[in-house]
């Protein structure tokens, strides 16, 4: 998905446009995650770019997209550019000693 989302459209409520935009993004991600995984792939990961326009879009982590959208809306921005590209994700083993096991103080 490579798209510029407008937040100011005449005759439409800005808050409803914001929620509709978030819904469209979530729907796209859900649809991509339903695609069957190729052999040797554990999950679908996403390459993400975000900015106020395509020219100044920067790479961001997938989990930060919604807070970034909220920040643009809060600042009064008219539009934002979002690029989500699905890629293969392979889980890697955690190094020994960095798990969620409780630490003991001796």
Instruction: Report yes or no on 7 lying in a domain.
Output: yes
Where in the sequence is the domain holding 56, given as residue range(s)?
A: 2-89
Inter-residue contact 4 to 54 (CB < 8 Å): yes
* pTM over 0.75, yes/no: yes
Is residue 103 very low, low, confident or very high in pLDDT (cuts 50, 70, 90)? low
Element (H, E) at 51: strand 43-51
Instruction: Write down the pLDDT at residue 102.
Output: 60
Residue 28 has pLDDT above 60, yes or no: yes
Instruction: Report yes or no on 20 lying in a domain.
Output: yes
pLDDT digits (tens, 9 = 90+) for 30-64: 999 999 999 999 999 999 999 999 999 999 999 99
Instruction: Write down the pLDDT at residue 97.
Output: 73
Residue 13 has pLDDT above 90, yes or no: yes
What's the domain count of the chain?
1
Instruction: Report yes or no on 55 lying in a domain.
Output: yes
Distance CA 41, CA 56 (A): 32
């Amino acid at each position: 998905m490579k798209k510029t989302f407008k937040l100011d459209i005449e005759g439409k409520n800005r808050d409803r446009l914001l929620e509709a935009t978030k819904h469209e993004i979530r729907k796209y991600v859900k649809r991509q995650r339903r695609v069957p995984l190729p052999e040797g792939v554990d999950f679908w990961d996403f390459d993400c770019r975000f900015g106020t326009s395509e020219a100044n879009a920067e790479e961001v982590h997938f989990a930060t997209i919604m807070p970034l959208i909220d920040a643009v809306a809060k600042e009064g921005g008219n539009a934002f550019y979002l690029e989500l590209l699905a890629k293969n994700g392979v889980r890697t083993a955690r190094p020994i000693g960095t798990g969620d096991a409780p630490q003991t103080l001796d």
